[in-house]
Amino acid sequence: MGLILRVDIDKPYGNTTLVRKIASKLVEDFYAKPLFNSFGYLTHFANFLKTCNDYNVSGIMYHRICTIPNEAVMELIKKGNHKIGLHAENTRNLETFSNELNTFKSLLPDKNIAVESFSKHGSGKVKIGKYHYAPYEAEKYLEWAKQLNLKFPFGNEIGENENDFLQKNNFHKSVFWIERDYRSSTFNTLEQLVEVASIHDVGVLIHPCNYDSTKNVADDFHELIKMAKEKKIEWRLI
Ligand SMILES: [Zn+2]
C-alpha cells in the first residue's frame, strides 16, 4: 500500500513570470511546435523530475499535447522509471478523445514508451484553453477506458474523508492535492494523508508549474517525501 503520484503537466513554459504565463497560454491555444525546444520549454518540469529522481519517487506523468515531452524530459522520465499518460482536454466524445490520444502518441519522441492511462484536465466548470472541453464526466471516461484498453485511475473530486480517497474498481474518485487550495476543510493535512497511505493506496496530485512557482507546494511535496520515507510508505505505480 502507498502513495501513487499523479503529475498533471499543464504549462509548457511554467507560470513563474508574466512572460512565461503568456508564452504558455499562446502555445496552449495555438500549438506552436517550433518553440518546443527553446525558451525554457518544460524546464520547470525537468527540475521537478530531477527532484523525483533524486529521491527515488516514481509517478505517472500526464501531458497535454502542448506539454508533450521533448527528448531531454523523456530521458529523465526513463531514468526515474516514471510512466506517461495523456492529460486529456477535448473529451467531448469518444472520437475527439481518440483523435487527441493518437496525436499525442504520434508526437512522442520515443514511440516505444507505453501510454496506458489518462487523466482529465480542468475542474469541470471553466473552459481553460481553446481545445478544452470543460465538463468533467468520470463515468464516460471509465467507459472509454474499457473500450480502448486504457486506465482512468484518478478522478478530479476533492476528498472530504478517508473513504473518498480509497480505490474502488481500480478508480480513485478523489486524489490528495499537494496544492493546498484544493483540499477540503476536513481532510487536508499531510499527516491524515500518510495515515491512510500506510494502510491503503492513495493518489496524490501535483502540478510542476505550481511546484516551481509556489513555495508551499514545493515545501509540502518535500515534506511528504520525508514523511513517507520515515514511515516506510512506498511510492507505487499503477
Ligand atoms: Zn490540468
Instruction: Please check the confidence at residue 26 and state whether its pLDDT lies above 90.
Output: no
Percent of the chain, pLDDT > 70?
Answer: 96
Give me the pLDDT at residue 76, please.
Answer: 97
Domains present along the chain, CATH in parentheses: 2-236 (3.20.20.370)
pLDDT tens figures, 69-119: 999 999 999 999 999 999 999 999 999 999 999 999 999 998 889 999 999
Q: Which pLDDT belongs to residue 34? A: 47
pLDDT classification of 47: cutoffs 50, 70, 90: very high
CA of residue 87 to ligand 1 center, whole Å: 7
pLDDT at 41 over 70: yes
Alpha-helical runs (H) found in 31-93: 43-54, 71-79
Across the chain, mean pLDDT equals: 92
**Distance in Å, CA 185 to ligand 1 centroid:** 22
As a whole-number percent, the residues of the chain with pLDDT over 90 amount to 79
Q: Determine the distance separating the centroid of ligand 1 and the alpha carbon of 122, expressed in angstroms.
A: 5
Predicted confidence (pLDDT) at residue 35 exceeds the cutoff of 60: no
- Residue 231: pLDDT band by 50, 70, 90 thresholds? very high
- Nearest CA among 164, 173, 145 for reference residue 6: 173
> What's the gap in Å between 156 CA and the centre of ligand 1?
10
Query: Among 171, 151, 177, which Cα is nearest to 5's?
Result: 177
Q: Is-above-0.85 flag for pTM?
A: yes
What letter represents residue 162's amino acid? E
What mean pLDDT is predicted for residues 17-45? 73
Give one DSSP letter per residue of 103-164, joined into a string: HHHHH-S-TTS-EEEEEE-S-SSS--STT------HHHHHHHHHHHT-B--EEEEPP-SHHH
pLDDT of residue 50: 98
